[in-house]
Amino acid sequence: MDTLKALMVFMTTAENGSFSDAARKLGVSPAAISQSIARLEQELEVRLFNRTTRQLTLTEDGRRFYAQCRGPVNNLDAAINQLRASRDEPAGHLRVSMPNSFGRRFILPLMGEFCECYPKIKVFFGLDDHFSDLVEDGYDVGIRVGMMPDSRLVARNLANIPLYVVAAPSYWNKYGRPQEPEELSNHDCINFQFPTSGRLFKWEFDRTGERIPLEVNGTYTLNEMEAVGELARLGLGVAQLPGHEVMPFIRSGELEVVLTDMVSLERSIYICFPHRDHIAPRTRVFVDFMVDKLGQHPDIIADLPGVDLSAKRKALAQSI
């Protein structure tokens, strides 16, 4: 027996006072209502209704059972109505996974404006450089930086990331500025190790449309991107870092870029979500908001003075 369906039939019958009225309301035959009530009484081993040819009334057990069912049914009705309302209005809890450094610098400063626009959304942020599994860990949205994420996810490309080779001016003045990527073998290069896999990041260059990966060596290896930049600013070596990590320090003069004619744009910033269908309004508005804001952020999309990456960006867009 479908217990929930039988309970709804019982409640409707009790509230309407007859099998025929309950049948009209539920869109079934009076016989189907009568049979459902009889099966429920048999299952419970209790008579719920007194039946005569002229009247249908609740027994004492039936009245008590109706009173006990009314509260849970009201809660169920409220839950259904709230769910239906949430399909149209951005509201409820939103879980977002994002890298620690990127999230602190670019996502959190936008949240005041977002929450003013959508005050009924409550946001949980998981700051995690290990790239949580969105589905298994119950996240609605993920911000990802690097190569194309898990193919199971729906991903929107926010921006292509330029990778700049940088060091403090004091370092370049002491050891010289390379003219070709291969000359980096003569420099103290700071390696970045992926926290999840333990792999070293291979430096990347674009030489007239050809992607050139390069393994480098040096004194320092770190598993946190922001710390790589800190060592470079201290004059302790050369780093290759995404533009959004170093743009403020390039503008301030703390870091100087070399090999600007070979900047790679192979990596991107993505916003991901697990499903394309039945996207909750709270997820949809968050994704659209971040696409709009991050896609215009000057530290993310701005190129260096005298460095025009428009042709490379156009070529990448045509290849996707």
**Tens-digit pLDDT profile for the chain (320 aa)?**
577 788 888 888 888 888 888 888 888 888 888 888 889 888 888 898 888 777 888 888 888 888 888 878 777 766 666 665 555 678 889 999 998 888 998 999 999 999 999 999 999 999 877 777 787 788 899 998 876 555 667 888 888 888 999 999 999 999 999 999 999 999 999 999 987 778 898 899 988 878 889 999 999 999 888 899 999 999 999 999 998 889 899 999 999 999 988 988 878 888 988 876 668 889 999 999 998 888 888 888 767 766 766 666 665 555 54
Same domain, 188 and 219: yes
Same domain, 178 and 252: yes
Same domain, 166 and 252: yes
CATH number of the domain that residue 284 is part of: 3.40.190.10
CATH number of the domain that residue 201 is part of: 3.40.190.290
Residue 32 and residue 10: Cα distance in Å, rounded? 12
Backbone angles phi, psi at 312, to 5 degrees: -65, -40
Same domain, 21 and 52: yes
Same domain, 47 and 76: yes
Encode 67-83: b = buried (16+ Cβ within 10 Å), e = exposed. eeeeeeeeeeeeeeeee
Q: What is the per-residue pLDDT for 279?
A: 81
- Residue 140 per-residue DSSP state: S
Domain count, the chain: 3
Same domain, 99 and 236: no
If you write DSSP's letter for every residue of 163-232 in order, what string do you get? EEEEE-HHHHHHH---SSGGGGGGS-BPEEB-TTT-PBPPEEEEETTEEEEE----S-EES-HHHHHHHH
Alpha helices per DSSP H over the chain: 3-16, 19-26, 30-44, 60-86, 100-102, 111-117, 169-175, 225-233, 243-252, 281-294, 298-301, 310-319
Same domain, 173 and 260: yes
Q: What is the per-residue pLDDT for 320?
A: 45
Same domain, 254 and 170: yes
Same domain, 172 and 253: yes
- Residue 27 per-residue DSSP state: T
| Tokens 């403020």 belong to residue | 248
CATH number of the domain that residue 54 is part of: 1.10.10.10
Same domain, 142 and 198: no
Same domain, 262 and 172: yes
Domain of residue 97, residue span:
92-158+267-319
